[in-house]
């Protein structure tokens, strides 16, 4: 669809089917980052000279773009982080310090990435709170009956992944938001796997916080976002202290600067944030209807072709609720061997537990192979994958 927009495909001739791990960088992203470095490289928020003011304006312009991209009115509620994992650690540690204690409960789903599982598990050890896990249906959807049963007056925090990075499941995050409207629990959505594929409006979702990474969005690594409601950001303590985030420092105490400075200690990765801004504009320029139609066509084609392969087991829901991530296993062949054999045929995909060991344990397998799509994925990539799968891998199956 869009390979011409991605310089890497001028030299890489394989089928890149690992976008869920990291997306390739669009040309406008690379150009924006190079432009920043060559025309306005200076410390942001610190210099009073024109070059620094220009750099600061560009940096803060991205904050405004992020706010618009996810339906936020106050751009100061947007906090820049290095990635989704850092954003979730900011939230878990700061939230736990203020709100969690003995007897409280944190509700997550079985399909969470480790980034939205391990930090909360660690907070239970520190606070005495309990991690509660909502289970899945047999076809890989969130079991809403189980979710509702486990949402109790003890629940202080709810963390839900929008799209599973293993199952491709699109969770009913707006339904969950409505369910939590009158419940005394904070609600966070992990949008790392959805932000480049599905339009997001935090007001419509009804969440209190949302996180995502730039490198899943055709932007650079080193860029991430934590959005949270202002009252929450004002209440919780900073995750990291040091330069820039302070207001005053004396020999005996320090006070914090305003939001979002309070959560952005030290010199930021300005270049990556500029790249993130360009990535947002790139996705916006394609249009959601075009993006979603393209991805659903690939998902439908892939699931249809998988259905013809008796020795392949595909995990996750049907086409209707399946995003562009498909995990599978082959009887008698380890996923790592699948990935290695396909790599020899020029097909790049992921094999392992995909940072979701609790999910894989519930599926009864230690690991899966996974293909995932981006705007540059096309039918030729799928043809190459299925041809290699049939010729090199399936003949070895038991």
As annotated, the active-site residues are 355
For 80, the enclosing helix (H) or strand (E) is: strand 78-81
Q: How far apart are CA 284 and CA 296, in angstroms?
A: 18
- Rounded to a whole number of angstroms, the distance between the first and last alpha carbons of the chain is 36
State the residue for tokens 């950001």.
233
State the residue for tokens 């055709």.
218
Please enumerate, as own/partner, the contacts of 226-231 that have beta carbons within 8 Å and a separation of 24 or more: 226/78, 226/79, 226/81, 226/87, 226/90, 226/91, 226/263, 227/66, 227/67, 227/70, 227/72, 227/77, 227/78, 227/79, 227/202, 228/77, 228/79, 228/91, 229/77, 230/74, 230/76, 230/77, 230/259
CA 197 to chain centre: 11
- Three-point CA angle 352, 355, 358, nearest 5°: 95
Q: How far apart are CA 5 and CA 291, in angstroms?
A: 14
State the residue for tokens 């801004």.
277
Count each helix (H run) and each strand (E run) in the chain, helices first. 13, 15
Report the candidate in 365, 378, 210 with the shortest Cα–Cα distance to residue 302: 378
């Amino acid at each position: 669809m869009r390979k011409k927009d991605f310089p890497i495909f001028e030299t890489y001739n394989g089928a890149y089917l690992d976008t869920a791990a990291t997306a390739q960088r669009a040309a406008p992203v690379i150009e924006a980052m190079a432009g920043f470095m060559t025309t306005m490289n200076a410390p942001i928020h610190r210099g009073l000279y024109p070059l620094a003011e220009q750099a600061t304006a560009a940096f803060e312009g991205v904050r405004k773009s992020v706010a618009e991209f996810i339906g936020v009115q106050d751009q100061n509620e947007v906090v820049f982080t290095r990635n989704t994992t850092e954003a979730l650690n900011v939230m878990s540690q700061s939230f736990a310090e203020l709100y969690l204690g003995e007897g409280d409960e944190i509700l997550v789903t079985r399909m969470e990435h480790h980034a939205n599982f391990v930090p909360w598990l660690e907070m239970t050890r520190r606070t005495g709170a309990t991690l509660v896990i909502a289970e899945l249906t047999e076809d890989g959807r969130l079991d809403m009956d189980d979710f509702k049963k486990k949402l109790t007056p003890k629940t202080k925090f709810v963390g839900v992944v929008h799209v599973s990075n293993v199952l491709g499941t699109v969770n009913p995050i707006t339904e969950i938001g409505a369910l939590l409207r009158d419940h005394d629990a904070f609600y966070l959505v992990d949008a790392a796997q959805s932000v480049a594929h599905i339009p997001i409006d935090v007001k419509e979702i009804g969440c209190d916080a949302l996180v995502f990474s730039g490198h899943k969005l055709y932007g650079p690594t080193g860029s991430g976002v934590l959005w949270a409601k202002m009252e929450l950001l004002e209440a919780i303590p900073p995750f990291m202290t040091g330069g820039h985030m302070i207001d005053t420092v004396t020999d005996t105490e320090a006070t914090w600067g305003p939001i979002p400075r309070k959560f952005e200690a030290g010199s930021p990765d300005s270049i990556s944030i500029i790249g993130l801004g360009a990535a947002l504009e790139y996705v916006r320029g394609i249009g959601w209807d075009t993006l979603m139609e393209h991805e659903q066509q690939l998902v439908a084609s892939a699931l249809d072709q998988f259905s013809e392969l008796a020795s392949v087991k595909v995990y996750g829901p049907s086409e209707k609720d399946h995003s562009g991530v498909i995990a599978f296993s082959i009887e008698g062949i380890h996923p790592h061997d699948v990935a290695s054999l396909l790599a020899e045929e020029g097909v790049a995909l992921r094999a392992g537990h995909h940072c979701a060991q609790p999910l894989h344990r519930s599926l009864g397998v230690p690991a899966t192979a996974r293909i995932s799509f981006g705007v540059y994925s096309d039918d030729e990539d799928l043809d190459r994958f299925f041809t290699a799968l049939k010729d090199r891998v399936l003949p070895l199956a038991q």
